[in-house]
Structure 1
Amino acid sequence: MTARAYLERGVGLALAVVVVTLLVGQLLGQPILLGYVATGSMEPTMSAGDGFVAVPAAVSGDIEEGDVVVYDARELHDGGLTTHRVVEVTDDGYVTAGDANPFTDQDGPEPLVSDGQIVATAWQVNGEVVTVPHLGTVVMGIQGIVTTATDAVGQVLGLATDDGTENAGALLVGVGIAMLAFGTLFDQFGPTRRETRRSRRRANVIGFWVALGLVLLVLVTFATAAMVVPAGTSEYGVVSTDSPTDDPQVLAPGETGELTRVTDNAGYVPIVAVYEAQSSGIETDPNWQTVGVRDDAETTVSLTAPESTGEYTRHVGEYRYLAVLPPTLLVALHGVHPLVAIAAVNGVVVGVVSLLVIVLFGTGDFRIRTTGDHVPLSTRIERKLRKWR
């Protein structure tokens, strides 16, 4: 393969990574590796439509004054994601503001930002945010076209809801999968370029390690999604008042109330759920538990009202791991870092599946035999049915 061919493949792979990360980020509601700003509130650091490299909160470390963070706002932008700079760190949370704004977010209706609300941090080098000019402009343009198209198709198919978001998103995923399948079929069976050199590849033969790698990629993707997607941060409100009620969230200053939290496992593999307080004045008991197949479990959330009266928010983070290792080991690995526990689970999945495939099929390449086009479809179906008699 020539240097030009390697370059073309590298550029294609980079573009694929950009597209996938942006799409997955949109589906999950948080930026993954790449994000963008839609307004000019961060000028001159980032202009409207500029992209940036987003470091997930799980690996970004402690938040410091001067960091540019992406947080899930409660009031701003109707509760959507907001990318602003941390201008002050307090014991109760972070004060944030857009570089172009003469006021902070907390000067308005937005309360202090807690660690549980932060989903990513913009990557900075020597104090400067690493930006990708106009990336967001392109993405928003494509998103507008896709939204219009999915709304039109959704109405025809009767899939659109009142707000057109949930089913439209599902439809978008379905269309994406269909396009991927079509592209694969076209690549395999469509017209090909004329080969100018002799190929050593064998027709209708799939290498064992290639096939195994594809299977493992799919399984690891689903395993990771099963752990990451249901996890997240839960928000609890607490009112500190001189007139408390029976409501466990309306308390006298310094008083503690208790709530019951239910963790559901809709999957067919037991999970280990780990809970972490992501703000002061909140605790869970137990801090972790195992939830069986298609079962649920309860944990107690304790809220303590601050000494100063007012309304406050508290956050608890939930982390999930497939129970393919002893629960205590998973909890210990989680204590090192959540990504370490996820990697350990995926390592077990890879090891077990690889061993099963090798035991059942060996390590030989897979040959796909195709029947000639001259054989009628009915005859081919009849031959298939004979094998099952």
Structure 2
Amino acid sequence: MTGGTIARRAVGLVVAAVVVLLVLGQVLGQPILLGYVATGSMEPTMDAGDGFVAIPGVVAGPIEEGDVVVFDADELHGGGLTTHRVVGVTDEGYVTKGDANPFTDQDGGEPPVSDAQIVAVALQINGEVVTIPHLGAVIMGIHGVLESGYGILASTVGLTTSASSDDLGSLLVGLGVALLGVGLLLDRLGPTQRQTSRSTSREHVLALRATLGVIVVVLVTVATAAMVAPSGVTEYGLVSTDDPTDDPQIVAPGETTELSRTVDNAGFVPVVVVLEAESEGVAVDPGRVTVGSRTTTTVTVTLTAPDETGDYVRHVGEYRYLAVLPPSVLGRLHAVHPLVAIAAVDAVVVGVTVAVVLAVFGGGDLRLRSAGDHVPLSTRIERKLRRWR
């Protein structure tokens, strides 16, 4: 393999990784290692359409004044992800502001930002945000084309004409599968090229390590997505007023109220769910539950109104782990860090997968027998059916 071939493959892998990370970020509603700004509110630090390296909030460490954070806003732009700088730290939360804006987000009606709302922190080196010029502009252009294509497709087949992130994510996945199929078809039917080097691969033989690696990557990806995607933070509005009503979230100052929360599991693997208070004045009982396959359970969320009247927001975090380890063990690992618990679950998935594959197929390469192209399809089917008689 020449140096040029290695370089082309490396560039292809990098581009594929960037696309995958950005697509997953769009589908999950939060940046994964890469993000971008859509407006000029952060100029001159970041121009509209610039990308940046996003460190997930769970591993970014304590937030400090001067950090550029991605947070799930309540009011800005109708709610949604916003990338602004932290300009102040208060007991109620962080004060944020776009570098190009003349006033803070909180002056414009956005409540102080809590730790639970922060999903990522922009990487800074020597106080400067690491940016990727025009990355976001390219992604927004692709996003616009996809929205237009989805609208045309939806109007043709009678679907909703409003494309959500899940719809566009599914469209991207489908497009990728289609392109892969076209590529394989062209590879099989296209013009043949003269073989200029001797191949060391064996026909109808699959290398065990490569096959096992693909299986492990797929299973770990699915397992991690099953834990990360449903996790998140839930907001509860609370009104502290001298005129409480029958609404359980409108109470007198200093009073407490209880709400029921349903925790469901739509999958076939039991999960351990850890629920934590992400702000003051909220508690969850029990804080850890095990939910069986395709079942639900109920926990109690207790909210305490401040002594001062006003509107408040309380946050409860939910973290899910596949129940491949005892709940007590997962609880202790979660207490260290959520990523530690996820890594432990993935390690179990890898270990079990490797053990099963080696037990079934042994340690040698996998040999696939072929009937040959000269054997008619009807004969092949007949031979297959004879095995089941």
Task: Specify the TM-score bucket, using the shorter chain as the normaliser.
Answer: over 0.9
Whether the 8 Å contact between 2:23 and 2:169 is mirrored in structure 1 is no
Shifted more, 103-112 versus 148-157: the winner is 148-157
AA aligned opposite 1:222: V
SS of corresponding position for 1:289: strand
Whether the 8 Å contact between 1:321 and 1:330 is mirrored in structure 2 is yes
Alpha-carbon distance between aligned partners in 1 of 2:370 and 2:191, rounded to the nearest angstrom: 18
Deviation of the 1:138 alpha carbon: 0.9
Shifted more, 379-388 versus 133-142: the winner is 379-388
Structure 2-normalised TM-score? 0.95
SS of corresponding position for 2:290: strand
AA aligned opposite 1:301: V
Deviation of the 1:54 alpha carbon: 0.4
Alpha-carbon distance between aligned partners in 1 of 2:186 and 2:335, rounded to the nearest angstrom: 47
AA aligned opposite 2:130: V
Question: What residue in structure 2 maps to residue 59 of structure 1?
Answer: 59
Deviation of the 1:239 alpha carbon: 0.4
Whether the 8 Å contact between 1:151 and 1:168 is mirrored in structure 2 is no
RMSD: 1.7
Question: What residue in structure 1 maps to residue 5 of structure 2?
Answer: 5
Deviation of the 1:56 alpha carbon: 0.8
Structure 1-normalised TM-score? 0.95
Deviation of the 1:174 alpha carbon: 2.4
Deviation of the 1:307 alpha carbon: 1.6
1:204 and 2:218 are equivalent in the alignment: no
AA aligned opposite 2:236: Y
Distance 1:6 1:358, change over 3 A: same
Q: Percent identity?
A: 64
1:361 and 2:361 are equivalent in the alignment: yes
1:373 and 2:367 are equivalent in the alignment: no
Deviation string 1:32-84 (CA, Å, 9 cap, x unpaired) is 01000011000000000100000111111111111111111111112121110
Structure 2 stretches lacking a partner, 5+ long: none
Question: What residue in structure 2 maps to residue 26 of structure 1?
Answer: 26
Question: What residue in structure 2 maps to residue 74 of structure 1?
Answer: 74
Distance 1:367 1:48, change over 3 A: same
AA aligned opposite 1:283: A
Deviation of the 1:3 alpha carbon: 2.8
AA aligned opposite 1:33: L
Distance 1:17 1:171, change over 3 A: closer
Alpha-carbon distance between aligned partners in 2 of 1:260 and 1:184, rounded to the nearest angstrom: 52
Alpha-carbon distance between aligned partners in 2 of 1:187 and 1:325, rounded to the nearest angstrom: 44
Deviation of the 1:186 alpha carbon: 4.7
Whether the 8 Å contact between 1:96 and 1:105 is mirrored in structure 2 is yes
1:310 and 2:310 are equivalent in the alignment: yes
Whether the 8 Å contact between 1:154 and 1:168 is mirrored in structure 2 is no
How many residues of Structure 1 are paired with residues of Structure 2 in the alignment? Answer: 388
AA aligned opposite 2:48: A
Alpha-carbon distance between aligned partners in 1 of 2:218 and 2:184, rounded to the nearest angstrom: 15
Question: What residue in structure 2 maps to residue 224 of structure 1?
Answer: 224
Alpha-carbon distance between aligned partners in 2 of 1:168 and 1:35, rounded to the nearest angstrom: 17
Deviation of the 1:183 alpha carbon: 3.5
Deviation of the 1:204 alpha carbon: 2.3
Distance 1:202 1:85, change over 3 A: same
Whether the 8 Å contact between 2:234 and 2:315 is mirrored in structure 1 is yes
Whether the 8 Å contact between 1:161 and 1:167 is mirrored in structure 2 is no
1:93 and 2:84 are equivalent in the alignment: no
Question: What residue in structure 2 maps to residue 342 of structure 1?
Answer: 342
Question: What residue in structure 2 maps to residue 234 of structure 1?
Answer: 234
Shifted more, 288-297 versus 186-195: the winner is 186-195
Shifted more, 317-326 versus 364-373: the winner is 364-373
Question: What residue in structure 2 maps to residue 170 of structure 1?
Answer: 170
Deviation string 1:200-257 (CA, Å, 9 cap, x unpaired) is 1112221011111111111111111111111111000000111112322111111111
Structure 1 stretches lacking a partner, 5+ long: none
Mapping for residues 321-336 of structure 1, pairs under 5 Å: 321-336=321-336
Alpha-carbon distance between aligned partners in 1 of 2:278 and 2:185, rounded to the nearest angstrom: 47
Deviation of the 1:14 alpha carbon: 1.0
Alpha-carbon distance between aligned partners in 2 of 1:114 and 1:150, rounded to the nearest angstrom: 36
